[in-house]
Amino acid sequence: MVMTTHEEKMHTTRFRVDDKPHIVVDPDKCKTCSVRACVYVCPANLFVPLGDGSVLFNYEQCFECGTCFIVCSKEGALRWDYPDGGYGVTFRES
């Protein structure tokens, strides 16, 4: 069995970032969310809880797994889509 570290895997991962975010979070709705499941489930750690109850979110290094959208139970708090063609993550790029 071949062991591969997270760092080794990220070495072959590329992001082509579009100016237009493919995930948009509504900070006002997040302020009323006590669960903040997105913070715990995002494999890229892109949701950061802030002291005022909101979350800081950056879409640039998103793996496009869709998990945040599935776990967010607050209607309209998170808009999710795939990036436009040619943008987003590419795995296993040499």
- Please give the residue ranges that form the binding site for ligand SF4 (CB under 6 A): 23, 25, 29-30, 33, 35-38, 42-44, 46, 55, 62-68, 72, 74, 77-78
- Least distance between ligand SF4 and beta carbon 88 (Å): 10
- Least distance between ligand SF4 and beta carbon 80 (Å): 7
- Least distance between ligand SF4 and beta carbon 67 (Å): 4
User: DSSP secondary structure string, 5-65?
Assistant: -HHHHHHT-EEE--SS-SEEE-HHHHTT-S--HHHHH-TT--EEE-TTS-EEE--TT----
